[in-house]
Amino acid sequence: MSSSLTEASGLKSLLQSVLKPASARGSRSSGLMRLLGNYGTIFALVIMIVVFTIVEPSTFPTLGNIRNVLTDMSLAAIVAAGVTLPLVAGDFDLSVGYVASFSGILVVGLLSNGQWPVPLAIVTAIGAGLLIGIINGLVVSKLGVNAFIATLGTGTLVIGLNYAYSGGMPIALTHSQSFTEISLGQFWGIPNLILIMATALVLLWVLLNRTVQGQHIKAVGKSPETARRAGIAVDGTRVIAFAISGTCAAITGVLLASNLGSGQVTAGDGYMLSAFAAAYLGSAALHQGEFHIVGTLIGVLTVAVGNNGLAILGAPIFTQYMFSGGLLVIAVALGSVSRRYAA
Amino acid sequence: MQPDERNTIDRGLTTAAPLVTLRNVSKLFGGVHALDDVSFELRRGDVVGLVGDNGAGKSTLVKILSGVFGPSSGEILIEGERETLTPPARAQRHGIETVYQDLALVSSFTVAENFFVGRERSWGRGPKLFQIMNRRSMTSTAASALESLNISIPHLKNRPVERMSGGQRQMAAIARGAFWGERLLLLDEPTAALGVRESREVLELVSQLSQRGLTMLMVTHNLEHLWSVCNRVIVMRRGRKVADLMSSETTMDEVVAYITGAKGPETLSSE
Ligand SMILES: Nc1ncnc2c1ncn2[C@@H]1O[C@H](COP(=O)(O)OP(=O)(O)O)[C@@H](O)[C@H]1O
Ligand SMILES: [Mg+2]
C-alpha cells in the first residue's frame, strides 16, 4: 500500500531533509548558491585538473595517465550510475557495495570450485545482483520499509551469503584464466574496462532519458502520489530502479574479481560510499540538484582525478582516504545546496 | 418534485443510462465518515458545481470518482454498468480525468511531458524499458490540443512547469484532462490558488469545454465561479449530500443556507 509514502519516521524525515531540503528561494545569496549548485562540481574538477597540470606537467596531463584515470574509475562509475536510478526514483540503495563483493566471490567460486564455463558463471553472478535488486525493490515498495533501512538490511544479508559461500576466505582463480582477460584486455587499443564503462553509461543514460521507463522513474522520484494518480505503476517502477542498481553492482563485482584474479570477501564494499559521493557530486552539476547520469559521471571523474593527482604527487595513502571522505561530505552539502536553490 | 428527477426531466430526451451513477457511496477513514451514503447521477453534458464547508467530503468524492481510493460501501455505475475505478489508471481507461487540488502535475516536467505522463507515446513494444519515447509526437499533439482551446503557453516543450505561473499550470492541467477525458472531467478547486485574472481564464476554459459537451464536476468555494459555469449544484455537509439543485432554480442564498446547515437536507432518497 501507500504506507511508505506517508510514513513519517524520524530517520526518514531526517534523510529527506538532506535529500530534499525546504525551498529557500529569493534570498540575496541565492544567485551565488545556484551557481555553486549548478557548477560547483565542474568548477572543482576543472581546478584540480589545472592545478595538477601545472604541478605535474610531465606526468598528469598525458595520454597514458588519462587512460589510467579512466580505467581506474570504470568500476566505480558502473556502480555509481546504477545507484543513480533509485536515487532519481527517490530511494537509497545502500546494498550495492556488498552486492559487488558477493558477486565477485560468487563468480570466482563458480569458476574455481564449480568449474563452470566462464559465460555461465558471469551470467549467474550478475543474475544474483539482479535478484537482490528485485528483492530490495519489493521490500521497499510492497512492504513499505524505508529504503535506507531495507537496503542496509538486505546488504547485511548479502554479507552473510558471502561468508556462507566463501567461509570468509578469499577464493583464488584456479581455472579459466581467460576470465582475467575481460578486465585486462583491450579492443582497438582501448582497455575493455573503459569500453564496458562507456557502454553501461550510454545504456543507462538512454534508459533514464529516452525510454518510457526512465520517464516513469523520474516522475515517481518527483512525487510518487502524482505519478500514481497519473496512472503510473509506482511500485513496479521502484522495483525496476533497484533491479538495475543491483545488476550494475554485480557487474562491477564480476569485473573487479576479473581484475584481481581472485574473489576477495570485502573487495567491493567501498563502492557504496564512492558511488554515493559521485552521485551527490553529480547532483551539483548542471541540473540544479537533480540526480542524473552525466552528473554522476562527472562526480566519478572528480573523485578519480583527485585520487590520481594525489597519488602522482606522492601523497601518503591516508590523504586519499581523507580526500574521499571529505569529498563525500562536500558532495552531499553541494547537492543539498543545489536542490535548495533549484528553480 | 425531487431534484434528481427534475434533472432527468430537463434532459428528458436522453434515454441512455446516466454517464455515472453513485449509489449509497460511503467512505470511512478510521472512524471518520468522510462520505456518508451519497447518491447521485451525472448525465452527459452536466456541469456540476460541488460545494460545501472544509471537510465536507468534496475531495474524497472526487478521489473516489478518479480511482484514488475505492468506496467503503456503495457502488459506482458507468453507463449503467457496475465498475471498479481504482487504481487511477483504471478510472482513466473509463474516460474519467481529474485535475487535482494539489499533485496535478510533475513539477520538473514540461507541459508537453505532463500531457502524456503515464501514457507516453513511444516506438517499440514490450517492456517500458525498451520503449523509446516519441517526444516529437507528444509535443506536437500537446501543442495542438492547447491551440484548439486557444491556450497559449510559451516554452511548453522546454520549461519545467515549476517555473510557470499558477495560472499557466492550471490551464495546462485542465487542457490535459480535457484531452484525455472522454466521459468526465473532475476539477478540484481549480481556481483556489489563482488571482482574479487567472481565475477568469480558467472559468472561460471550463465554459468553453462545457459548450463542447464535456461533462464536468467542479469543486469550488466560490459561488460566483460556480454560477458562471455550472448548470447544477450539489451541496455536501459532513459527508452527506444535503442538496442537489439546478442552478437556474435556486439562489446563492439558498445554497449558502445548505452549506452552513441553516437549511436542512431535503428528502433525497432515490428509492
Ligand atoms: N486520506 C485521508 N485519511 C484520513 N482522513 C481523511 C483523508 N482524506 C480526507 N479525510 C477526512 O475526510 C473528511 C473529508 O475531507 P475532504 O474530502 O478532504 O473534504 P473537503 O475537500 O470537502 O474539504 C475530513 O474530515 C478529512 O479530515
Ligand atoms: Mg478539498
CATH of the domain at A181: 1.10.3470
Of B10, B11, B188, nearest in space to B97 by CA:
B188
pLDDT at B126 over 70: yes
- Residue B29's pLDDT is 95
pLDDT in tens, B222-259: 999 999 999 999 999 999 999 999 999 999 999 999 99
pLDDT, mean of residues A173-186: 89
- The range of the structural domain enclosing residue A212 comes to 38-342
**pLDDT at B44 > cutoff 90:** yes
| Closest residue to A230, CB basis, from B118, B129, B162 | B118
Measured distance CA(B118)–CA(B96) in Å, rounded: 15
Are residues B108 and A218, on separate chains, in Cβ contact within 8 Å?
Answer: yes
- Measure in Å the smallest separation between the Cα of A208 and chain B Cα atoms: 9
Is A20 inside a domain boundary? no
Q: How many domains does chain A have?
A: 1
The per-residue pLDDT for range A237-271, each reduced to its tens digit, is 999 999 999 999 999 999 999 999 999 999 999 99
Residue from the list B106, B128, B130 with its beta carbon closest to the beta carbon of A222: B106
Instruction: Please tell me the least confidently modeled range out of A4-8, A65-69, B15-19, B130-134.
Output: A4-8
Q: Using an 8 Å CB-CB cutoff, list chain B residues near A343.
A: 160, 162-163
Residue A14 has pLDDT above 80, yes or no: no
- Indicate whether A103 belongs to any domain: yes
The ipTM, to two decimals, is 0.86
Say which of B92, B107, B128 has its CB closest to residue A231. Answer: B92
Which residue's alpha carbon is at the smallest distance from atom 26 of ligand 1? Answer: B55
Q: Which residues of A touch B108 (CB under 8 A)?
A: 218, 222, 290
- Asked if the model's pLDDT at residue B110 lies above 50, the reply is yes
Over 70: is that where the pLDDT of A123 sits?
A: yes
Query: Chain B: residue nearest A290 by CA?
Result: B108
In a domain, A2, yes or no: no
Per-residue confidence (pLDDT) for residue B7, from 0 to 100: 42
Give the H or E element holding residue A31.
helix A30-55
Q: How far is A209 from chain B (nearest CA, A)?
A: 9
- What separation in Å is there between the alpha carbon of B204 and the centre of ligand 2? 22
Give me the domains of chain B, ranges plus CATH numbers: 18-95+181-265 (3.40.50.300)
How confident is the model over A189-199, as a mean pLDDT?
96
Determine, yes or no, domain membership for A8: no
Does the distance separating the beta carbons of B108 and A230 come in below 8 Å? no
Q: Do residue A210 and residue B129 have CB atoms under 8 angstroms apart?
A: no
CB atoms A213 and B129 under 8 Å: yes
Burial (0-12, 13-18, 19+ Cβ within 10 Å), A229 = buried
Select the highest-mean-pLDDT range: A39-53, A58-72, A240-254. Answer: A240-254
Question: Would residue A241 count as lying in a domain?
Answer: yes
pLDDT value of residue B13? 45
Ligand 1 centre distance from Cα of residue B81 (Å): 28
pLDDT of residue A336: 77
Tell me: pLDDT of A32 over 90. no
Report yes or no on A42 lying in a domain: yes
For the residues of chain B, what is the DSSP string, one character each?
--HHHHHHHHTTT--SPPSEEEEEEEEEETTEEEEEEEEEEE-TT-EEEEEESTTSSHHHHHHHHTTSS--SEEEEEETTEE----SHHHHHHTTEEEE-SS--S-TTSBHHHHHHTTS--EES-SSGGG-EE-HHHHHHHHHHHHHHTT---TTTTTSBGGGS-HHHHHHHHHHHHHHH-SSEEEEESTTTT--HHHHHHHHHHHHHHHHTT-EEEEE-S-HHHHHHH-SEEEEEETTEEEEEEEGGGS-HHHHHHHHHTSS--------
Identify the nearest ligand to the CA of B190 by its number.
2
Give A109's pLDDT tier (boundaries 50, 70, 90).
very high
- Pocket test residue of B26, B29, B61, B100 for ligand 1, highest count of atoms within 8 A of CB: B29
Question: pLDDT value at position A74?
Answer: 97
Specify if A257 maps to a domain.
yes
Among the partner-chain residues B104, B107, B131, the one whose CB lies closest to the CB of A212 is B131
Average pLDDT over residues A12-34: 51
Instruction: Give the pLDDT band (50/70/90) at residue A330.
Output: confident
B57 lines ligand 1 (CB under 6 A): yes
The shortest C-alpha distance from B269 to chain A (Å) reads 32
Residue A316 placed within a domain: yes
Q: Which of B62, B99, B117 to probe the A interface (max A CBs under 10 A)? A: B117
pLDDT tens readout for residues B166-224: 999 999 999 999 999 989 999 999 999 899 999 999 999 999 999 999 999 999 999 99
Q: For residue A114, is pLDDT > 60? A: yes
Pocket test for ligand 1, best of B35, B53, B59, B218 (most atoms within 8 A of CB): B59
| A211 has a chain B CB within 8 A of its CB | yes
With 60 as the cut, is the pLDDT of residue A295 above it? yes
Longest dimension (CA), chain B: 60
Q: How far is A290 from chain B (nearest CA, A)?
A: 10
**Residue A332 has what pLDDT?**
80
